[in-house]
Each structure stands twice: as structure tokens, then as C-alpha cells.
Chain A
Amino acid sequence: MPLPKALVLRTAGTNCDAETERALRLSGANASTLHLNRLLEEPQRLDEQEILVIAGGFSYGDDVAAGRVWGLELRHNLAEALKRYVERGGLALGVCNGFQVLVESGLFDSTGPDGQRDIALTNNESNHYECRWVTLRSEECACPWIEAGELMPTPVAHAEGRFVVKSDETLARLRKNRQIALTYVTPDGGKASYPANPNGAVADIAGICDPTGRVLGLMPHPERNLDPWNHPQWTRLSADRTQGEGLPFYERMVASAAAGVSV
């Protein structure tokens, strides 16, 4: 069986591309990293991929709003190739800034009755950048490779990660479409408040998927927890841990893509 092909997309200000590519590689994908400019020159390169990851960072410095500028570039300059990619069944993942980009790109297919985007990621309630470890719970959702009920310690690092919705109806629709994929909880799985919910996100939402489940975005960084010594309390934990808890996250996505490939 051929290895699923995964593309990590980067642009000016992307800074999580190396560890993201490593996560995909360790998970069994044939992974490579490409600058947006190269993809714009040859959009058909997207047709060869099973996985597309918009890596985290500060694309264009978060200028105007985090993810805004790159999202606009995707909408304007790569719309056709992306549409083809998603309709073909390709998986798309956006981590941190990649999530912000996905929200801006329209790939979550989240528009309200007025035809305008009705979800956003904006300033943390603390009004500043925060880097800390949180616990994520995977929720029952449309994304086929997310297994509900698991807890995953993961670092967050962002200034604009608070997930907000235009109205209660938006939230109801997200629930109905099974789009809420990951939530912030306390380390033992309980209801989160700050700092377990590090940014004040509505309904403790850390990540969502599109209605098909093939597009997923999340603020935290599972690719920063691949090795057993990344965990902040690893010196207190069992010596039997052989990997970080973020690796299985990527392994499942790659396995899901591989299953798609074999079909």
C-alpha cells in the first residue's frame, strides 16, 4: 500500500512547519513542506495529496487579524484547486494559525442567514498571547478519525484563539452538524474555566470540523507533543511513556487517509 501523501503548506510567518512535517512522517505519511508561492505556481500539485495541513505560526504577522490575509489569498488565488481537493475527499487540517486561516478561507462552510461568515477566532479573554498546556477532549463529531471521549494533553500558544459565534443559532447548527470536534476540559475531563479553557472560547470549543468531517481545525498544537519529554510533568510521570500524546492524533489522521487511499 503506498504511503498517503501529505503536504504541509507554509508562507511568510509560518513557523510550525518542521514539527508538523515530522508528526506526519512519524505517523507514516509521505510528507513534504511547500511554500504557498510554489503551490500558486502549480496548483495541480494539490491533486496529488491525501492530506493538506496549514501549519501554525504568524502568517503575515497576524496583521489585520490572525489568519485573515492568508485566508483571503486562499479564497482568491487557490479557490479552484482547493474546491477540487475537498470534493475529491482530501483531508485538510489547520493547526493554530492554520485553524484561523481555515476559518477565514470559508472551508468550514459556515455562513449565517445574511450570507456572511458567522464564526470567528479572536483575541483571548486575557488580551494577550498565552503559552500553556491544556487538556483536550475529543467529541463525537463528523470527523471520522476523531475518537470521542479521549483526553489529550496539548500545548496552546496563541493570542487570538477564542472561538466565537455570531449567535446561538450558529452554535446550534454546529452541534446539529456534529462539527464540534475538540473541547477544553480540566486534566481529569471536568468542565473547564480559565486557564483550562485558555482563551474563553464559547462552549469551550478548541477545534471544529466542517459538515463532511474532512476539514478540521484546532487551536492547540499536538505536533509539539510527539516525544515523551515534551509533557510539562514528564519527570513525574511513568517512565514507560514512549511517545507524546500528540502523536496518535496525527497517526489516526494518516491512517484514515491511508484507508481512503486503499479504497
Chain B
Amino acid sequence: MAPSAVSAPAIAPPDAWRIELFRREAKDDPDAASLLAATREFGITGLKSARCGRGFLLPPNLAADQVKKIVKELLFDPVLDELSIYPPKEAPAGNPGVHRILVARQSGVMDPVAVTVERVLRRTELVQAAEDGLLVTTFHAWELKGTLSEEELTTIARRILANDIIEDVAIDSEGLAYGLPPKAPDHGRVEVPLLELTDEALMKISQDGALSLNLIEMREIRAHYRQLKREPTSCELETVAQTWSEHCKHKTFAGTVELEDRSYKNLLKETIKYVTDTLNKDWCISVFHDNAGIIAFEGDWDVCVKVETHNHPSAIDPYGGAGTGIGGVIRDILGVGMGARPIANTDAFFVGPPDLDNADLPKGCMHPRRILRGVVAGVRDYGNRMGIPTVNGGVWYDEGYVANPLVYAGTVGLIPRWAATKSVAPGDKIVVVGGRTGRDGIHGATFSSVELHEESEMVSAAAVQIGDPITEKRVLDALLQARDAKLYRGITDCGAGGLSSAVGEMGEETGAIVDLDMVPLKYPGLTPEEIWISEAQERMVLAVPPADVDACLAMFASEDVEATVIGEFTDSKRLELTYHGESVCDISMAFLHDGTPKPTRQAKWEAPTAADPGVPACADTRGMILSLVGSPNSASKEWIVRQYDHEVQGMSVLKAHVGVNSDAPGNGAVLRPLENSYKGIAITCGANPRYGDLQPYRMAMAVIDEALRNSVAVGGDPAHTAILDNFSWGNCDKPHQLGALVMASEGCRDAALAFETPFISGKDSLNNEYRVGDKSIAIPPTLLISALAIVPDVRKAVSMDLKRPDNLVYLVGATRAELGGSEYFREKGLEGGIVPTPDLTVAPGLFRDLHQVMSTGLVAACHDLSEGGLAVAAAEMAFAGGYGLDVDLSRVPVLDAPADADFDATALFSESTTRFLVEVAPQNMQAFEAGLKNQSCALLGKVRSDDQLQVKSIKGSALANISLDELRSAHKGFFQG
């Protein structure tokens, strides 16, 4: 078929030098191979071959030999590339039978490669510095051969090659945009008349302006300005909207809630924070009030941690959303206290099933495969470039996330004790450092506070942020030097709400005045509101004493980081903005921060009514074990882990994958952060949305237990462990969603108190619903618990792989018939049942005793029991170590099981919490048993010298004999990217 113009009216070839570089050989062009694979997933079979070219547009005023020099010195690889250069306004002639698809970032969208090229051309004087208008644009040119319909071409272009929210696409047309983004109509002070408006008109202002303010809040604003006898300015209204957004203020979680006979004035304070206040651990250095929680580590050093969600942006643009998610949480660590050095990243994804039929995809949603690949690549490209190892994480699959994927990103930092606190004094200069401000990420904070819908990707394009990790790395490098030179007094990150939130928060107790004309912009033409609320990435805000300003700016300049004074902190207790010499905002900090109305919300909770299906026997234990080892939630995530740099900084002690082939899932990461100490940290997590669907109270307790037992299993000290809560919920304006949130919060409170494990930081994302027509789809109640534990001596850290034939294998912890939400029930299609929950009278002591025997070196391997229960844990330990294992189910202590529960199925597949499989050398048997004499501890069998996992029933018959190769290939048989 001949190429045809299927795109919108073609724009002319750009007035710019156009360079296209294709690989000479197909093997050097792996993007083309990926495209071929991706088209097959979409059922497109006509594509025969493809090539991916990199394109650059250079200024038309450059001389031809200048362009050739730039190409030869910088763009062209003499070993690999085939080169074409087209003069301004000319374009490739095109070949019959070859379709060309051009993909370019829309003008104004961050293009890090173009920025790098512009910079190095100036630095190496390949272009004379005088040529100020140096503008470089990059694009990709795809050449496709085969028989493709227009519809197929469009699918390839828009659903595989490009994300048309941020990219321009041209199909069989050579037009490319070149030039700065069009100027928006600039304006000065704009007032928004609302004093006389009706409720309806108030809400129209909120909705039209994407402010996400509800009627009660809009009325409160109206009342405030009626008192002042003037109308608010547009900047003031935006500032209030950002500050009061659910994302920034956590109105629901920190609000008044009533559930049946319980009443909470502040749910967060009376459940999560209550634990921390009550335990009052002296090693908690800074909790909840700063960008991250800080706990004592070793000597003068502390460690800090923060986990964030970036759900809505990742649903719209998985790559950019996840990348800026990790970029944002790294800035939280850079901005905690006086700034910490990031030493580890974590991530957790909750997505729809990768084998979802295309036909079942709700309108406006991306396929889970595309989302997962995108978010993995986003974390990979941002985290790896930052030089921070991504060491721990998880992926959970559930149909509830098809329309609303969840992306959690966390960062751990190392911070000297003196730097744990910061302040701001009137007279300090407000300095913004890092990236420039553009029109990217407008209304991210308010966008994340509403539900998604079919047209979200259309209306919220501006909310998408594109990261530039190297700018953030420069900020990191310069910032820590400025910190150690004590060149600033206070710092925070620019995250949701941009400058409005950062300056508003820092100046809450003092007051602040900012001259918006001073803010460095990526391109001219932003309105004052856009400058003020833009969520352009890679920016931090400092409070710098006047005497240190010059030295501070010079420090940043020495690392090529832009740093600019944009205003100063005052003692007015007001937030004042000027633009073009005119006041555009003058609002009291008190109203901004404390003026949020606090309505009482009613919650409702009804337990699901599905009958308890009991514990039916398993007809094919062998098949079931293989299915569970390869089930989506248990299957290997190695394809993800291998793409993350988990070794940089050289601190690695236990990695995500362990065992003789480094292909078995470990319990958690262990790092040694300081070179003069053997002390380490363990980083682990726990989550289970299937439990959350059934019983949120029990789920919360179970996932706290899971995070802690993962930590104990690698050598973390349960008496020196801090946890973080990250709630992602449906719309909590709905009483039953709020009820589930209250139940989960109470579960957090009860479990954490019993374990004496303080929460030190957390975050919630409470509007994860997707509207198709009249129907709203909510995600399962999802609580991610992350744990940060001190490992007293990394040389005693324990991995989960079986070490030696004839060693003994114990089951520590008691088993109950708890299979509600279990993998066994999922395989059998059963609903209901009892969600596993820790026995809080036993669990804390068990963790303590096990940790004690592990610290004395008595344990050769340890693995926690979670999804899939004993069956999966035993299988994983065996193939990890390359040795078989005997498991005698008659030895499994099962408590409180109903008479009709099948014993073998319960023993093998129950997901009761607080349980471990522990390998012990025969010579350590007595000491080990003595150390656990107060706990349930049963010898199940021995490590075999062959490659067979052998399971014997309670009656002594052989239930399953499975080879390690079978287990391993089952484990690796699920979606691998």
C-alpha cells in the first residue's frame, strides 16, 4: 500500500536544519525489534520491518559546514550510524512502500536531550556564543515497511510509539514544529468576582478553573473575602486551592470522622500518629512534620525515609508519571531537615492483569502491560540516572487497578544529626534552585484530588510532568555541599502546588513576599498564576540569610545549577506576590493554612456478606504448588529488578534477588551506609489488596506484620524499626469507602502499638476512582506499609536460599485456617473467608526471639511466609539454594481450625501471618530450639542433597514431588515485560 496522509492537515517541513541518523544494521536498532513485538500484541500482523531514527533540528541560520561539524563531532557515530542532513524547509523524499512516523515532544514539554545539546554546543564553542537564539529540537523518525491499514498505522503511532498528550505525531507527513511555544496572553492583576455569587456559580468557578474546591470551601472563601470587602485575585484563589487540596492538606484523613459509636476529631492523629506519640521512642528524631521521617542510625548519623504516591500522573503518562514520582520523593529527602543524601529508592506498583483482553479495557484507559512497562522504565531512567540504587519493591496485579494504577515511590536518605532541623527567619532571601519554570504540571495537586474519567487524558495534559534527572542530580551534588558549608537556613522541595506550596509552607510562621518576575522561566509568556503554581520538576526552595546569598549562589553556579533570589521572608504573616510591579496576591497565612473548613464526615462499614467457604481439599497439590509459585503476585519480577541499578554507591549487602543463581525473591534489601560501621539498614514492605477488599482492619494488621517479618527475616531489629503508611483508597466522600479507611487506620493503630513500631511518615491518595458514564470504579483499599529497620551487624544478615544438605528446616509461628483473600482461594475461584491476622499477644515476642537467635548466627536461611503460604515459601527457598527439601505436613502446628477444614490444604496454603521457614545447621539445633522455646517452632524436615521438593501429607503419603527446574520455570513463567 502506498503511503497516505492520514494525520491532521500536514504542517510544512520545519525551517531548520534537519538531521536524521538511522542505524546501519538491524541488530543495533533494538527499538525496532521492540516495536515489532508490540504490534503483534495489538494484533497487527502486516508490519514486516521497522527502523528507528534519531532526529535533530538545528537553527536555520547555521552555515552548512558548521552543521556538518556539529553532526560529525556530536551527533553521528561513525561505527553505527547512517546519516542524512536536510537544509531548512527540506524533507526526506520518501520511498514507495515505506511509511514514516515522526514523534516529537510538543513545544514547551521538557526535552532533556535538546537542552544537553544546546549546552554542550555552547560549551565547546562548536557554535559561537553570540548566536543566542540557539534552539535545538529532537524527534524520532520511524520507517515502517509492510501492509498496514490507516487504522493500524494510527494505532502504531498513537498507542505504541507516542503518547499524544505530550508528543506531536506525524504520519506520512514531514511536518515538525520548530520554535518556542506560542505565547499565552499575559496579564497582570486579575480579580475573580465571587462576593455576590450563588452556590452554583461558585462551583462553576471551582470546576472551570480545575480548583477542586468543594462548595463548603468555596463558601468559606467567599465569607473570608466578604469580610475583607474585596474580591480575591486569581493568584489568591489558586494559592488557596493548592494549599487546601486533598493532596497537600489531607483534609479527609486529618478531618473529623464518625463511624458507628466511634468519633475521631482527627482520624490521622488519633490512629497513626497516636501510635508514635504513645510509644515516644527516643530514636525517633523527626516524625510527620517534615518532608520525611528521621530515625537515629549510628553515631552522628540518622536515616530518613519517605514514600509517595504518583497515581493519577502515572495513569495518564506512565513513563513520565513514575519518573517524576521517583524524582519528587527524592526531592523530599533532599528537603528533609537541611537536606539528606539519598541512598536507596523503593517502588511498588499496583496494576491490572497483564493478560487482560483488549476488549475488556475501559474506554480511555491504557493496557496494564503498557502501563507497567512504562512505569518500570520511568523509575529505571530517573532512579538510575540519579545514582540511587532501587533496592526494594513489589508488583501487585488486580482487576481493580485496570483504570486506576497505583505507583508508589520511596527514598531513603542519610543525614547528619545536626541537619535534622531547619528554620526560616524574616529577612532571609527566598532562593529557587534547579530547573526552570514552565507551563508543565499545572494543577497537579488539584488534579490528583479528583477522580479520573474517560476524558482525563484530554483535560489534564497540562498536569503531566516530564522529568530531567540530570538537573536533579546537579541539584543534589550542589545542595549537599551548600548544606555542609551551612549556606542556608531552611529548605523545602517544590512538589505539588509548585512555588505556591513551597513558599507558602516555609513562610507559614513568618510571611513571604515573592516577585514573580524574578522566577527563571523556560520560555516567555507565562501568566503570574502559571509561574506560581507550575509543578515544573527539579526545583528546591531555600531560605538564605542575606550574608550568605553570594556564597550560596556561587556554590550552585559551580555545579552548573541555576539559583535565583525571587523574594524574601518577612514578618508580616502574609503571603504577598508582585508581578510587573503590581500586587497580584496578598493573603494572610492564617487563612491560607488554618482556614480550611472541617466538616464532620459520616462513615459506614458493613462486612462483606460472602459466606466462609471453609478450606476445601486440594485434588492436585503438585499442580497447585506450581500454579502458586507462578501466580502473578508470586512470580518472578526479575525483569524489573534487573533494569534497576541496585548496586550503585556500593552499599549492597542483600539484594532483591538472592540464591545460587541470584534469581529467587529475597525478603528485603540490606544496605551498609557507613564505611566505618558494620551497622546496616533493612528496607522491606507489605501490602495485600485482596485482604483489603474483604476486611480492611485485618488487612492493615496483616501487612504491618508482613513488612516487619520481611525485615526480621533478613536481620532487621524489630525493636528498632520504623514504618510508613501509604493509603490509596477510593472516593472517601462515600461513607463506605471512608468506613474502610477508618477500619484500616484502626488496624494500623492496634498492630503498630502491639509491635511497638512507630509510624514516622505517611501519605494518602483518596480519590482513586474512574468514571465511565454513570459508573464509578474504585480501586481495592490499598495500604502499602514500608519498614526501615536497623540491622545491628550486616555480617549477620541472612538470605532465604537453602544453604546445605541435611540442615534442618523449621516452621516458626502457628498456622490457622486463614485463607480469606489467599492465593489458594484465588486459584480455586473462592470468595470470602477469614483474612489472616497476627495474634498480637504472640507476634511481637516471636519477632524478638527470632531476631535474637539470628543475631547469634544460628540461622542459615530464613524466609517469610506470605502469599501462597508454606507451599510457596518452601519452593522458593529450595530453588534459590539449589537443593531439594522435605516438608512433612504432619509436623505443622495448626491452631483453631474448624473440623471441616482440610488439614493438608490449611497447612500448605494458609496465609497466617507471623510465620517463617528457618534453616538451621544440625550442630545449632539445641541452641536454636532453646532460643525459641516460648514460640511455636516445629521441625518440618531436612534439606535434601538432590533437586526434589517433597511434600508429605498428615497421613504420611506423598502429596507432591517437584523438581527445582520445574519450580524455577513456573516461577519465571509469568509476564516478563
- Chain A residues packing against B (C-beta within 8 Å): 10, 12-16, 18-19, 22, 35, 37-38, 57-58, 60-65, 68-69, 72-73, 75-77, 112, 114, 116-120, 122-133, 155, 157, 164-166, 221, 223-227, 229-230, 232-233, 235-236
Contacts and interface: CB of A to CB of B under 8 A. Distances in A.
A94 B77 CA distance: 20
B27 A125 contact: yes
A229 B794 CA distance: 8
Interface in B101-123: 112-113, 116-117, 120, 123
A157 B645 contact: yes
B120 A227 contact: no
Interface centre among A69, A77, A114 (most CB of B within 10 A): A69
B31 A224 contact: no
A119 B77 CA distance: 10
A35 B798 contact: no
B803 to A, nearest CB: 6
B794 to A, nearest CB: 6
A132 B117 contact: no
B652 interface: yes
B799 to A, nearest CB: 4
Contact of B558 (A10, A35, A61, A118): A35
B653 interface: yes
Given A13-B473, A127-B34, A72 B73 contact: yes
Contact of B116 (A10, A16, A69, A221): A69
A120 B79 contact: yes
In the A-B complex, the 4 residue pairs with the smallest Cβ-Cβ separation, listed nearest first, are: A15-B387, A127-B30, A19-B650, A63-B116
23 contacts: A12-B477, A12-B559, A19-B650, A37-B560, A58-B385, A60-B470, A61-B116, A63-B116, A64-B74, A64-B116, A69-B116, A117-B78, A120-B77, A122-B80, A127-B30, A127-B31, A128-B643, A157-B647, A165-B79, A221-B647, A230-B652, A232-B658, A235-B861
A129 B384 contact: yes
Contacts of A117: 78-79
A60 B120 contact: yes
B681 to A, nearest CB: 13
A63 B74 CA distance: 11
Nearest to A60: B116
A22 B650 contact: yes
B74 to A, nearest CB: 6
A236 B647 contact: no
B386 interface: yes
B124 A131 contact: no
Contacts of A65: 77
Nearest to B648: A15
A131 B645 contact: yes
A63 B662 contact: no
B80 A164 contact: yes
A224 B655 contact: no
A71 to B, nearest CB: 10
Given A68-B74, A229-B794, A129 B31 contact: no
Contacts of B120: 60, 69, 72-73
Interface string B764-802: 000000000000000000000000000000110111010
Given A58-B387, A157-B645, 4 more contacts: A76-B125, A112-B78, A129-B643, A132-B642
B802 to A, nearest CB: 10
Contacts of B571: none
A61 B672 contact: no
Nearest to B795: A229
Nearest to A61: B470
Contacts of A13: 385, 470, 473
B79 A118 contact: yes
B117 A12 contact: no
Contacts of B645: 129, 131, 157
Interface centre among A15, A114, A120, A165 (most CB of B within 10 A): A15
A239 to B, nearest CB: 9
B33 interface: yes
B860 to A, nearest CB: 8
Contacts of A73: 120, 123-124
A235 B797 contact: yes
B269 interface: no
Contact of B650 (A10, A130, A131, A230): A230
Nearest to A162: B28
A13 B112 CA distance: 13
B30 A125 contact: yes
B792 to A, nearest CB: 14
B385 A61 contact: yes
Given A120-B79, A130-B643, A229-B797, A63 B124 contact: no
A35 B559 contact: yes
Interface of B: 27-28, 30-31, 33-34, 73-75, 77-80, 112-113, 116-117, 120, 123-126, 377, 380, 384-387, 468-470, 473-474, 477, 558-560, 641-650, 652-655, 657-660, 662, 672, 675, 794-795, 797-799, 801, 803, 861, 881
Contacts of A126: 30
A232 B655 contact: yes
B827 to A, nearest CB: 31
A10 B558 CA distance: 13
A37 B481 CA distance: 15
Contact of A15 (B386, B662, B801, B881): B386
B29 to A, nearest CB: 8
B79 A58 contact: no
Contact of B80 (A18, A63, A120): A120
Contacts of A60: 116, 120, 470
Nearest to A133: B662
B78 A166 contact: yes
A77 B117 contact: no
B643 A64 contact: no
B652 A224 contact: yes
Contacts of A166: 78-79
B113 A63 contact: yes
Contact of A77 (B31, B124, B474, B799): B124
A225 B652 CA distance: 9
A128 B80 CA distance: 18
A128 B861 CA distance: 33
B797 A64 contact: no
A72 to B, nearest CB: 6
Contacts of B126: 76
Given A22-B650, A37-B559, A130-B642, A77 B470 contact: no
Contacts of A129: 380, 384, 643-645
A226 B797 CA distance: 17
A123 B643 contact: no
Contact of A58 (B33, B470, B642, B794): B470
Contact of B643 (A114, A131, A165, A235): A131
A116 B795 CA distance: 51
B646 A131 contact: yes
Contact of A19 (B649, B655, B660, B794): B649
A208 to B, nearest CB: 14
Contacts of A127: 30-31, 33-34
A112 B77 CA distance: 13
A126 B265 CA distance: 55
B380 A61 contact: no
A18 B649 contact: yes
A225 B660 CA distance: 18
A160 B649 CA distance: 20
A235 B648 CA distance: 20
A235 B473 contact: no
Nearest to A158: B645
A13 B84 CA distance: 30
B642 A131 contact: yes
A14 B797 CA distance: 30
Contact of A72 (B124, B641, B642, B660): B124
Nearest to B881: A236
Contacts of B881: 236
A117 B78 CA distance: 6
Contacts of A72: 73-74, 120, 124
